[in-house]
Structure 1
Amino acid sequence: MVWKTAILTASDKGSRGEREDTSAQVIRELVEEELSGEIIEYRIVPDEQDEIIAALIELTDYYQVDLVLTTGGTELAVRDVTPEATRRVIEREVPGIAEAMRATVMQKNRSAMLFRGVCGVRGRTLIVNLPGSPKGVHENLAAVMDQLPEALLMVTGQYREQL
């Protein structure tokens, strides 16, 4: 099964071309190598709630990807609004994924408790917020990668077909 995946980066500097988006590259590598996923769309938007919301809706409703992985905008700074935007878009929250990421990464890095990312479902798409750093992306995504195929089977309605 090849999972159609989109990457959405929330970054003021990245959206202005002032910073290379290395976190998205880490996501791309992990999705392609560990999840057998295909990146269908990739976007960078500024840390603006309305722009993040619009991008999430387009990726889920128009592109109809199975998985959207966001990076950036998940800490405590005033401009970090990705979790709020995600909550406004999702229909059902999946708290266990975010909890597992925080719990796993906190064993090595106590500052992981400051990660505010959320996960949820919109239609038949799973949306997972990840931190903005390449290391944070790798650690958090690796913490839940083994459960993503099962979650995606459920979200896309294919779970019963696999039993």
Structure 2
Amino acid sequence: METSSAGSAASDRLIDAITDWVQQLIRMNALVAAGSDLIPTDLHCLHVLQQTGPTTTGKLGEQVGLSAGAASRMIDRLESTGFVERSRDISDRRKVTVSATVSGLQRAGAAYGGLTARTRQDLEGFSASELDVLMRFVAQSVRSVEAAATSLAAGHPSPE
């Protein structure tokens, strides 16, 4: 069993590696966005829509950290390039729902096809039990980031 300091050093190395990975993903997203005449926040919006399905501009803005006005301009950009579409609620015409288009998701997804294939190859070297451990770590990390982001959005410092 690892000593506390050895475990701490291993944790520090892992955190550094994750930071490097995140930085490369940010770079990748910026390059994909630039190649589609978009900005990285637009791609974030498409990812949210892909994960959650249709939603309102206001809720989408909250998810990507934009004001209502900035979210509306983002949707204008994405709509003009065919990545999303707006539709009015038939029972309340004031309510507008934003949806990703199939062609928009296909165009954005095509840019990530090589990375997805390479990631699958990277994962082939792990056993099912190792993948379970990785999944458990990633799921917990997502919850931790969500909690920290929620705290910051509410004007509070990041929880320890």
The interval holding the TM-score normalised by the smaller chain is: under 0.3
Larger helix proportion of the pair: 2
Q: TM-score, normalised by structure 2?
A: 0.24
RCO comparison, higher one (Cα < 8 Å, 6+): 1
Q: TM-score, normalised by structure 1?
A: 0.23
